Amino acid sequence: MKRLISGLMAIAVCMSASADQIDRIIRSMTLEQKAMMLVGVWEADKPSNIISSAGRTHPLESQGIGMTIMNDGATGLRMDTLRKGYPDERYYCTGFPVSIMMASTWNDELVRKVGATLGDEMTAYGVDLILAPSLNLQRNPLCGRNFEYYSEDPYLAGHTAAMMVQGVQSKGTGATIKHFAANNQQTARVNNDAIVSQRALRELYLRNFEIAVKEGQPWAVMNSLNWINGTRASASKALLTDILRNEWGWNGVVMTDWMLPENTAACAHAGNDLFMGGAQSQVEDIIKAVNDGTLSITDVDRNVRNVLSYVMKTHSHAGVEPTFAPDLGADAEVALEAAQEGIVLLKNNAATLPLKEEDTVAVFGVGTYLFYANGLGAADVNKPYTINLIQGMKEARINTHPVVDEFYQKYLEAQDVQLRERNARTWKNWFFGYKVPEEAPLRDFFIQKRAQDCSKAIITIARNCGEALDRNFAKGEYLLTDTEKEMLESVCREFHARGKQVIVVVNTGAAIDVNPWSKLADAVVLAWQPGQEGGRAVADVLSGKVCPSGKLPVTWALDYHDIPSSANFPVDYTFDWEDVKPYGRAGQPRTKNLDYTNYEEGIWIGYRYFSTFSKPVAYPFGYGLSYTTFKWSDAKVEKVSGEMAKVSILVTNTGSVAGKDVVELYSTAPVTEDFETPVRELRAYSKTPLLGPGESVKVSMDVALKDLASFHEDVMSWITAKGTHILSFASSADDVRATVEVTVPKAITRKAPTEVK
């Protein structure tokens, strides 16, 4: 089979068209055919295919060009499980850890491997283009889609996305980076105008895309539904042509996000090639606009050229037949490995973890059983199963207490009956979430008994959220519910009174409030939403089979209100359909955080703010503990040649178990009076291989001097300041272990004149 696929891929390469060939096709096309080529179809309905793809392109049969198929896939390939003509069969895709967890691995090879596995599943199911990865920055922890975004840092987000793209595209399948750009809230997502300074755009909200585009060369870019500084992103020539293509030198296909049939001609002129999901009215808009002279045929031909170049690279075009038989067993192993490496050990007092063989654990919390594999919306995956925490622990032969297990099973069965009607399979439930049982109230004597006969307790706190809705600053969402708080306090009180330790497992796609409860717990394991193999991966960390090596890709604040963007982010919003219709609120007074959001904090998001202004946090960006210890020594600048600096450091495992470490490299620009820069900015990172006790590895990293720049909007230029730049080897944004210096003899200036407005 492998040989067959690589043979087919070779054909695919030969099949991708030359510019001349494409021009010939364009010359032969009527205006109607061109307009159709620029407008997609929402549901793919290809005979013998899996039903319900996110969208497809129109075929051009006269030229032997078929349709191409697109599916979502931020956490695994998203498809329906039914295939036409096979009513008794079900077809599944692997559920990988969510994106924030992939970024927590800080492991390029592993992210590429997940991408390549996705590519294999796309090939098996006849999918040409995946509508992933999503890489918007986590400006605020309440954004509903944070689980499908990577980080608060543009380098980590952009580089991780590039690794994912490289993996997917290594299989001859295509990747789409989205949502370009500044898609940082879900509330009123099609009407919201992000008001952002040019500096914050360049250093943060475009920088992630710049890195992903240059390092990953994705086939496609999906623009965002929101507006930026008064222009809808899909109609912004500055974004789609001047920056994306002319400045960054990228030449793929640009598409809209779904559901925006408006301003077709303006978007096409701005450089949006393809309209997705696609509406017949958009075909008519294009024809009319060309006929009345408001859209030039040159623009149309340019866009058709981009669409055809994409179409002619695809497996569909090359005639690669789907097998409908991905190797789900092997792919599950990759999902497990990714989950194991993305788990972050936040706290581990007095070596609470790993558990000992003789431990018997009382496992509390309905989250142990619900255990979310991924978030909701377009990034949900129809996976064959989800291993929850209790299953994972049992498989790993961790002794749990049968009375506690039985209590939760009975409670959940009863809840399930009550919620059955509310949780019917409707699209609204799919989108906005099924109602899950509330935390089970526990009686004191029940906890006291368990504290007597168990040696440790585990409590799971689980949260879910997704597309179209932001989370609320409310109990049960960002905050703990009263019942969760009581459970935590009572379990800690009773177990601690007997000298026994309590471990909290957090199952979430984004940060939650941890203050002050995390002070009570002896250990905190951040499981994120770890995909279908999640329970197994967490059990492996609990048992010590796996030494944790994940690091936070986002700061966990002590208090939500410490986060600078909290002053300008929607809270406690009630969903209204009018807010997601384009111009749904037209004519009404413009409301802050709904119709527009002021990014008043500028560049000061995440650790850039907390570290620079020495504001305490619960857990800093880049932080994560291990079961072993590492010594870092011999930091040096290996060489500075031309515009590149190579630095290195020696990492030695000084503990007693094998483990991996992550070296984060931050830069600090020379201080100048008139231009403020963050005290530290991530420029590179490297994860070590598994190091046995006593083993060392030299970690080397390259940094381009031009990338040590800040954006000066008065002259619309990136400038690397002249003088001494400090490069810090760090284990988190607040834990610098060694520094070296690099001197830039003369300022390096790179003009980037296009303003996004």
CB of 55 to ligand BGC, least distance (A): 7
Smallest gap from residue 131 Cβ to ligand BGC (A): 4
Cβ(150)–Cβ(100) under 8 Å?
yes
Strand positions, DSSP E, 137-250? 174-180, 193-195, 220-223, 227-228, 231-232
Instruction: Report the sign of the C-alpha dihedral through residues 303, 200, 231, 750, in that order.
Output: negative
Phi, psi of 509 (to 5 degrees): -100, 0
Applying CB under 6 A, which of residues 153, 257, 380, 439 lies at the interface with ligand BGC?
Answer: 257
Rounded to a whole number of angstroms, the minimum distance from the CB of residue 437 to ligand BGC is 28
Q: Which parts of 49-68 interact with ligand BGC (CB under 6 A)? A: 54
| Contacting ligand BGC within 65-104 (CB under 6 A) | 72
Instruction: Calculate the alpha carbon distances from 655 to 545, 626, 732 in Å.
Output: 16, 10, 20
Q: Residue 261 or 670: which CB sits closer to ligand BGC?
A: 261
Q: Closest separation between CB of residue 180 and ligand BGC, Å?
A: 11
For the CB of residue 573, give the shortest distance to ligand BGC in the complex, in Å. Answer: 18
CB closer to ligand BGC out of 140 and 400: 140
How far is residue 184's CA from residue 192's CA, in Å, rounded to a whole number? Answer: 10
Given the DSSP bridges, would you call strands 193-195 and 596-598 parallel, antiparallel or unpaired? Answer: parallel
Helix, strand, coil % over all residues of the chain, rounded to 5:
35, 20, 45
495-514 positions binding ligand BGC, by CB under 6 A: none
Minimum CB distance to ligand BGC, residue 464 (Å): 17
Cα–Cα dist 283/746, whole Å: 53
Nearer to ligand BGC, 257 or 285 (CB): 257
Residues 258-277 that bind ligand BGC (CB under 6 A): 258
Closest distance of CB 213 from ligand BGC, Å: 18
Cα separation of 364 and 566, whole Å? Answer: 32
Q: 3-state class of 109 per DSSP?
A: helix
* Residue 508: CB minimum distance to ligand BGC, A: 20
Q: Which is nearer to ligand BGC, 267 or 514 (by Cβ)? A: 267
User: What φ, ψ does residue 329 adopt, rounded to 5°?
Assistant: -65, -50
Question: At residue 428, what is the residue type?
Answer: K
367-397 burial, b at 16+ Cβ within 10 Å, e below that, comes to bbbbbbbbbbbbbbbbbeebbbbbbbbeebe
Contacts with ligand BGC in 175-214 (CB under 6 A)? Answer: 178
* Element at 359 (helix H, strand E): none
In the complex with ligand BGC, which residue's Cβ is closer, 175 or 378?
Answer: 378
Other C-beta atoms lying within 10 Å of the C-beta of residue 264: 27
The answer to whether the beta carbons of residues 350 and 536 sit under 8 Å apart is no
Is 257 annotated in the active site? yes
Cα-Cα-Cα-Cα dihedral sign, residues 76, 163, 371, 546:
positive
Q: How many residues make contact with ligand BGC (CB under 6 A)?
A: 7
Q: How far is the CB of 273 from ligand BGC (least distance, A)?
A: 16
Which is closer to ligand BGC, CB of 219 or CB of 609? Answer: 219
**The one catalytic residue among 153, 257, 331, 470:** 257
Nearer to ligand BGC, 73 or 659 (CB): 73
Tokens of 442: 């526990």
Packing angle, helices 108-125 and 328-342, rounded to 10: 150
**Residue 716: CB partners within 8 Å, gap ≥ 6?**
198, 751, 752, 753, 754, 755
* Cβ-contact 515, 496 below 8 angstroms: no
691 binds ligand BGC (CB under 6 A): no
Shorter beta-carbon distance to ligand BGC: residue 128 or 257: 257
Tell which positions 277-296 bind ligand BGC, by CB under 6 A.
Answer: none
**Residues found in the chain:** 757
CB of 225 to ligand BGC, least distance (A): 7
Residue 718: CB atoms within 10 A of its CB come to: 20
Contact 168, 175 (CB under 8 A): yes
Considering beta carbons, is residue 378 or 502 the nearer one to ligand BGC?
Answer: 378
The residues with which 684 forms a beta bridge, in sequence order, are 665
Stated as kind and residue range, the H or E segment containing 289 is helix 280-291
Give me the 361-400 binding string for ligand BGC, x by CB under 6 A, dash otherwise: -----------------x----------------------
Binding residue for ligand BGC (CB under 6 A) from 131, 182, 487, 510? 131
Instruction: Name the residue nearer to ligand BGC (CB basis): 72 or 331.
Output: 72
> What own/partner pairs with CB < 8 Å and gap ≥ 24 does 41-49 have?
41/67, 41/277, 41/278, 42/258, 42/276, 42/277, 42/278, 44/69, 44/70, 46/126, 47/84, 48/83, 48/84, 48/85, 49/83, 49/84, 49/125, 49/126, 49/322
Q: Give the number of other Cβ atoms within 10 Å of residue 134's Cβ.
A: 28
CB 174 within 8 A of CB 129: yes
**Minimal distance in Å, beta carbon 72 to ligand BGC?**
5
How buried is residue 267: exposed, middle or buried, by Cβ count under 10 Å (0-12/13-18/19+)?
Answer: buried
Q: Which H/E stretch holds residue 630?
A: strand 630-641
In angstroms, rounded to a whole number, what is the distance separating the alpha carbons of residues 707 and 697? 26
Closest approach of ligand BGC to the CB of residue 46, in Å? 17
Cβ closer to ligand BGC: 184 or 628?
Answer: 184
**CA–CA separation, 159 and 591 (whole Å):** 35
State the binding string over 468-497 for ligand BGC (x if CB under 6 A, else -).
------------------------------
Closer to ligand BGC at the Cβ: 72 or 193? Answer: 72
Nearer residue to ligand BGC within complex by CB, 131 or 238: 131
CB of 85 to ligand BGC, least distance (A): 25
Positions annotated as catalytic residues are: 257
Site residues (vs ligand BGC, CB under 6 A): 54, 72, 131, 178, 257-258, 378
